[in-house]
Amino acid sequence: MSSLHRFLHLSAIAILWLPAPSTTAADGAKVRRPAAWADLRQQVPVAGDVRAGQARSTVCAACHGPQGLAIAPNFPNLAGQAATYLYVQLKSFRSGQRSDPIMSGQAAALSDADMRNLAVYYASLPAKPPGRVEAASRGGQLFLGGDPARGIPPCQACHGPTGHGPRTYPSDAPQPPWSTFPRLHGLSAIYVTKALHDFRNGARSGTSNALIMHGVAQTLDDADMQALSNYIATQ
Ligand code: HEC
Ligand code: HEC
């Protein structure tokens, strides 16, 4: 598939799931609006220098691990993640569109070149090997099939059947470098639960990509989130 086709395909799925303009989180929290569709247009490969990224990554290894596999469950794995996704997240931390007491400070010190180099470096590292999933579990059913009656979309539509990334790409291949849709498989249950709550309550909603997930997360209750987190951690 050409990159234009991929872009159109993903944008079409994405726009379907964008919530209505005046969105308010279930708990009444105000949800920030992104500036237009700028970050959906960021679905292009990121150019960077892997070796310069490796050199810059020493400080990151303290939490994300020397090989991009997190040292504790409250930190995400970065190894094998799509370069464009990583770059967009770092830019969002630096601009304040995504905020975290630890990462916002880390990203503030990075130049645009640093962010590109770090993104391609982490994307080049081998991802966590696939685990053994319970497809019949509640989490597996939601991930693969969603729950149409409750408006829950199948996660695999955007994250791929094995959580390795969009289904327009073979599941055993490295992440497409242009993707702003992350690979999920192997992220810890603690990190995924926090991310889903952040999406649902609007804490992580400062970009149009995050707003897609805000719309998805609003269909999930706490039990769904726990089941999905447990499933993703075993992918
Ligand atoms: C002291 C610990 C710590 C250090 C050092 C650190 N990070 Fe992080 N990082 C975190 C935490 C915590 C999160 C999750 C933030 C959240 O929950 O939103 C995170 C998230 C991220 C994400 C988002 C990943 C995703 O899946 O969405 C990226 C990218 C990232 N860090 C890159 C880096 C880079 C590059 C460096 C080095 C310049 C770095 N981090 C240094 C703790 C750290
Ligand atoms: C319509 C497409 C779409 C669907 C369906 C979808 N996602 Fe996402 N998801 C995204 C996008 C885009 C992002 C990146 C958000 C950002 O940039 O902050 C994302 C990010 C995430 C993240 C954050 C990962 C990280 O490293 O921080 C988690 C966790 C997640 N999705 C879980 C799910 C689950 C669970 C489901 C099913 C209930 C699901 N997603 C369904 C598009 C989708």
**Ligand with smallest separation from the Cα of 101:** 1
Asked, for residue 3, whether it belongs to a domain, the answer is no
Of 53, 19, 52, 78, nearest in space to 219 by CA: 19
Q: Is the CB of 77 under 6 A from ligand 1?
A: no
How remote is the C-alpha of 15 from its chain's centroid? 17
Ligand 2 site, residue 163, Cβ cutoff 6 A: no
- State if residue 210 touches ligand 1 by the CB under 6 angstroms criterion: no
Residue 68's domain comprises 34-124
In a domain, residue 50? The reply is yes
Residue-level pLDDT, tens digit, the chain, 235 residues:
333 344 434 444 444 444 433 344 444 444 444 443 445 555 677 899 999 999 999 999 999 999 999 999 999 999 999 899 999 999 999 999 999 999 999 999 999 999 999 999 999 999 999 899 888 999 999 999 999 999 999 999 889 888 987 755 545 555 566 688 999 999 999 999 999 999 999 999 999 899 999 999 999 999 999 999 999 999 9
CA separation (Å) from 103 to 92, 96, 110? Answer: 10, 10, 11
Shared domain for 164 and 220, answered yes or no, is yes
Say whether both 70 and 108 belong to one domain. Answer: yes
Q: Which of 124, 154, 184 is the last residue of a domain?
A: 124
Question: The tokens of 37 are what?
Answer: 């569709």
Residues 156 and 182 in one domain: yes
Report yes or no on 209 lying in a domain: yes
The pair of three-digit structure tokens given for residue 190, joined into one six-digit string: 């603690």
Q: Closest ligand 2 atom, CA of 39?
A: 17
Whole-prediction pTM = 0.87
User: Which of 124, 149, 174 lies at the terminal end of a domain, its last residue?
Assistant: 124
- Find out whether the beta carbon of 77 lies less than 6 Å from any atom of ligand 2: no
Q: How far is the CA of 234 from the centre of ligand 2 (A)?
A: 17
Per-residue CA distances from 207 to 72, 73, 132, 192, 200 (Å):
27, 25, 33, 18, 14
Domains in the chain: how many in total?
A: 2
- Provide φ and ψ at 2, rounded to 5°: -70, 160
Determine if ligand 2 sits within 6 Å of the CB of residue 216.
yes
Same domain, 147 and 85: no
Tell me, what CATH number does 152's domain have? Answer: 1.10.760.10
For residues 147 and 229, membership in a common domain is answered with: yes
Could you tell me if the CB of 87 is within 6 A of ligand 2? no
> Where does a domain end: 124, 156, 179?
124
Residues 119 and 145 in one domain: no
Q: For residue 160, how many C-alpha atoms fall within 13 Å in the half-sphere facing its CB?
A: 22
Closest by CA position to 123, among listed 188, 186, 179: 179
For residue 81, give the ligand 2 atom closest to its CA: 26
User: How many other β-carbons are positioned within 10 Å of the β-carbon of residue 6?
Assistant: 17
